[in-house]
């Protein structure tokens, strides 16, 4: 019974691992790689917003920090990609901790906290777009050096499995957090911060831990994005799109759930691609579709896909538990 909460995440990862076996299409693999990278950022957002109730509009700051630190580490210092990944994750955690410290010490919460995170993301976008050291508006193009040591692969299948490994780490890590004392404290803050503080929860410490972990996960996703496309610029990795998609995937999948961000990202991007296929040639049709999906999710699926599945399963379970009628 103790290991049952880990069965669903492991089952989802095992199912996704079969994708390269089912198809060798580069289009499908590209879709899955990008979607799963987004799901990692969504999982990072969900840890802070879904479990802790601290809604952020600026996770692009941590995503972009991870991508730029890793790129500069390799291009300016000539060091390897693996150590760049470690440094980028640490930089993302440090940035999130610093933003959280400034915001939470000032007593900001709710929409005020969300706007502060959005402001920081915009500041970093403007700065990296203006400074020559970061490539300015031209961005940074990572040299092509195929090899596992450089986190570059000639076959997309290997990179897909690498991304899936990070997804698995995120799923299992969040599952462990959910069952831990720290996870219970996060949920307590989400439900009633004053009551949690009265019960002895160190509110600032718990929030800062959640911020650091969330920032580290988002930065790792930024590194994966860099290593896959080998090019970044400020408009892309610090753009508001990543923050919006992380938030949408969590809401559509189910706030405060383990599988929600991954399922939400798959559903959101799948429907977006379907919309582009059905209404081809219309710029931004997928973004308009995302907005429509969000409205539907809020109106009819307050618990997201996970909540919808639970509502469908409840009557079936209730009927299965009814006592059998005696035959006369």
Quick: pLDDT tens for 185-227.
Answer: 999 999 999 999 998 999 999 999 999 999 999 999 999 999 9
Q: How far apart are CA 280 and CA 261, in angstroms?
A: 27
Whole-number pLDDT of residue 1: 46
Whole-number pLDDT of residue 283: 67
Q: How far apart are CA 122 and CA 104, in angstroms?
A: 20
Whole-number pLDDT of residue 327: 47
Query: Which pLDDT band holds residue 322 (cuts at 50, 70, 90)?
Result: low
Q: What is the arithmetic mean of pLDDT over 233-245?
A: 92
Q: What are the phi and psi torsion angles at 155 (to 5°)?
A: -110, 125
Q: How far apart are CA 114 and CA 95, in angstroms?
A: 16
Name the nearest CA neighbour of 40 among 245, 310, 239, 318: 245
Whole-number pLDDT of residue 3: 61
Q: Which residue has the tokens 């997804």?
A: 167
Parallel, antiparallel, or unpaired: how do β-strands 140-141 and 231-232 relate?
antiparallel
Number of other CB atoms surrounding residue 201 within 10 Å:
18
CB of 47 within 8 A of CB of 107? no
Whole-number pLDDT of residue 182: 95
Q: What is the arithmetic mean of pLDDT over 251-276?
A: 89
Query: Which pLDDT band holds residue 281 (cuts at 50, 70, 90)?
Result: low
Whole-number pLDDT of residue 282: 67
In the chain, pLDDT over 90 holds for what percent of residues?
72
pTM of the predicted protein model: 0.91
Vertex 213: Cα angle to 69 and 165 (nearest 5): 75
Architecture per CATH, domain 13-320, reads as Orthogonal Bundle (1.10)
Quick: pLDDT tens for 99-122.
Answer: 999 999 998 988 999 999 999 999
Name the nearest CA neighbour of 216 among 58, 65, 39: 65
Q: What is the arithmetic mean of pLDDT over 48-69?
A: 95
Q: What is the pLDDT of the chain when averaged over all its residues?
A: 89
Whole-number pLDDT of residue 273: 80
């Amino acid at each position: 019974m103790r290991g049952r909460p880990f069965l669903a995440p492991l089952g989802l990862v095992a199912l996704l691992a079969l994708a390269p076996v089912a198809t060798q299409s580069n289009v499908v693999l590209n879709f899955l790689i990008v979607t799963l990278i987004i799901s990692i950022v969504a999982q990072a957002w969900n840890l802070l917003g879904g479990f802790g109730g601290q809604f952020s509009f600026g996770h692009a700051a941590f995503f972009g920090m991870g991508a730029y630190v890793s790129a500069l580490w390799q291009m300016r210092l000539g060091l390897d990609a693996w150590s760049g990944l470690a440094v980028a994750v640490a930089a993302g955690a440090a940035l999130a901790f610093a933003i959280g410290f400034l915001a939470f010490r000032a007593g900001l919460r709710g929409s005020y906290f969300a706007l502060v995170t959005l402001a920081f993301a915009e500041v970093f976008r403007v700065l990296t777009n203006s400074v020559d050291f970061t490539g300015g508006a031209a961005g940074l193009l990572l040299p092509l050096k195929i090899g596992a040591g450089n986190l570059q692969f000639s076959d997309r299948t290997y990179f897909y499995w690498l991304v899936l490994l990070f997804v698995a780490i995120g799923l299992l890590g969040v599952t462990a957090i959910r069952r831990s004392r720290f996870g219970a404290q996060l949920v307590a803050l989400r439900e009633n911060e004053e009551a949690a503080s009265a019960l002895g929860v160190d509110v600032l410490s718990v929030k800062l831990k959640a911020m650091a972990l969330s920032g580290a996960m988002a930065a790792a996703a930024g590194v994966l994005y860099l290593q896959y496309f080998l090019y970044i610029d400020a408009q892309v990795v610090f753009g508001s799109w990543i923050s919006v998609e992380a938030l949408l995937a969590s809401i559509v999948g189910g706030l405060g759930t383990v599988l929600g961000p991954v399922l939400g990202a798959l559903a959101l991007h799948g429907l977006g691609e379907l919309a582009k296929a059905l209404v081809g040639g219309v710029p931004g049709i997928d973004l308009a579709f995302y907005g429509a999906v969000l409205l539907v999710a809020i109106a009819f699926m307050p618990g997201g896909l996970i909540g919808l599945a639970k509502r469908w399963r409840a009557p079936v379970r209730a009927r299965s538990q009814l006592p059998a009628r005696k035959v006369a």
